[in-house]
Amino acid sequence: MRALIAMLLAVAVLLSGCGGGPDADGLRAGVNERLVQALPAGTVELVSLERRGSQADTRAAGETRRTVYFDAQLKLARDFDFGGWDAPGVAGLVSALGAGPKGISGITSGGNKAGDIIRAHGTALYKREGDRWVAVTSGGYRPAEAPDYVTNTAPGAAAILEAMRKVIESVPKDASPAEQAAIEQELALAYASVRARLARAADGYAIAAGAEHGQYLRFARALASETRVRVVPLITRGGEENLRLLREGKVSVALAQGDAALDAYEGKGAFAADGPYASLRALGSLYPEAVHVLVRANDSLASMADLRGHKVAMGEPGSASRVTAVRVLEAHGLGLKDIVPQDLSIGAALVALRQKQVDAVIQVIGVPADSVRDALEDVPLRLLPLSERAIAALAGAKTAYFPYTISRGAYANQRQDVRSVATAALLLTASDLSDAEVAALTRLVFANGNDLAARGSAQGAQVSAATAQQGLAVPQHLAAAKALDAMSAGAGKK
């Protein structure tokens, strides 16, 4: 009986080595190769990697593929900021490791130090070619779970009330009607403000985020789990709806593309019928959202000019991304009449691209885009660069766009930098929050040391006080600007 068990175990080991994907040494070599491609030489050292099993991937007909799971520890060989906007960073890291939401911990806003340890739960996809396993691409994101929420309270209310009482008692009884009216008005205003803030604290700061599984909602949920203030993320259709919800007073905070926010502020584009939104203010810029122009890797399309006469998926009508796509085409001398526009969301567009129902997809999204990473598992894709003339035109004065490079390694098998433009994802508010609330939210969102990537938002690693005023398309709230200045001054003294 023991001999039979031993034989079965031996067979199982042989089968696992043959059909379960590469062994630990092969896996380590593949991960190291992707890290070298994605990050500057000498940035990290792979100090440990443990293979955690594998699972058959049946999406590719006619191929034997397996997704291999592993735990890895990386050690920083030098100081490095993974949140850099226009440099290899968090995008390359998550793509190299195939990490999903909450799959990487140890990345801190403001930059990591030499010797820091980054831990990751990673995946790698392999296919069988003869007697060997060949890497296909790293695994994609999976939806994150909604986090729990916490609240906090501010101490010292009794002392403030006592101080106010003394001030009021010090006013002479024969004070003028104007003085008495001033006291009553200020007390009534303070009472109303306290009531409003208590209501918001009890119910939470509703933040208009975005679609389920989208980057905005993932960021809002990560923020909710990171901060001590109750943030309530709302599922919406995206930036344009978020701006209207904010204007109507239905939310206190909203996320939106910088170009859409500028249109709303000026009352142009999709917001022409609404008129200027003069009270719109930004707490700060969060992360860049780059223009992605995707085609199938084996197609002959090499430039934006080649899109003439082809089917191009450019977002759903009413989406901020579609407005940007139209402007990108126009900057290249192309109008809607010159292409065959397809009104598809990013998910449907990538499926259509794989099935050869469209020839290209234009989307504005943070890097790395999880939907793009997932699509790479099914079909090789390629990014088209924008022309330098179009980049200069789009990033001119009084626009919300700036030149941006999608660095090599941001996506699996991307071996060259791709020139494009980006607009900043903005955290926005209006006039209903007090200066104290705005300052508190600003400090919490942009504080160094946050690890929003570990809470499910890869783009959260790019949120920093150092870049909070980069790419601002609308006026910044004065209280937010003061809070950021104080944070920068404090960091400079360390």
**82-108 tens-digit pLDDT:** 887 877 788 888 888 888 767 888 888
**435-461 tens-digit pLDDT:** 988 998 999 899 877 788 888 888 888
Residue 40 — pLDDT band, cuts 50, 70, 90? confident
**15 has pLDDT over 60:** no
More confident residue, 168 or 17: 168
- Give the number of other Cβ atoms within 10 Å of residue 161's Cβ: 10
Q: What is the mean pLDDT of residues 394-411?
A: 88
Structure token pair of residue 172: 């002479």
**494 has pLDDT over 60:** no
Structure token pair of residue 224: 């909710």
**195 has pLDDT over 60:** no
- pTM of the entire predicted model: 0.73
Instruction: Among 93-107, 162-176, 209-223, 296-310, name the one with the lowest average pLDDT.
Output: 162-176
What's the full length of the chain, in residues? 494
The rounded Cα 148 to chain-centroid distance in angstroms is: 20
Q: Among 48-62, 206-220, 293-307, name the most confident range.
A: 293-307
Closest-CA residue to 239 (of 266, 213, 272, 270): 270
Give yes or no for a contact between 426 and 474, defined as CB atoms under 8 angstroms apart.
yes
Residue 140 — pLDDT band, cuts 50, 70, 90? very low
Give yes or no for a contact between 425 and 459, defined as CB atoms under 8 angstroms apart.
yes
User: Which amino acid would we find at residue 307?
Assistant: L
Q: What is the pLDDT of residue 24?
A: 84
**149-193 tens-digit pLDDT:** 233 334 467 777 877 777 777 777 777 777 777 777 677 656 545
Q: For the chain, give the percent of residues with pLDDT over 70.
A: 85
**60-82 tens-digit pLDDT:** 667 888 888 899 999 999 998 88
Alpha-carbon distance values, 428 to 256, 261, 365 (Å): 8, 9, 18
Place of tokens 């199938």: 296
Q: Quote the mean pLDDT of the chain.
A: 82
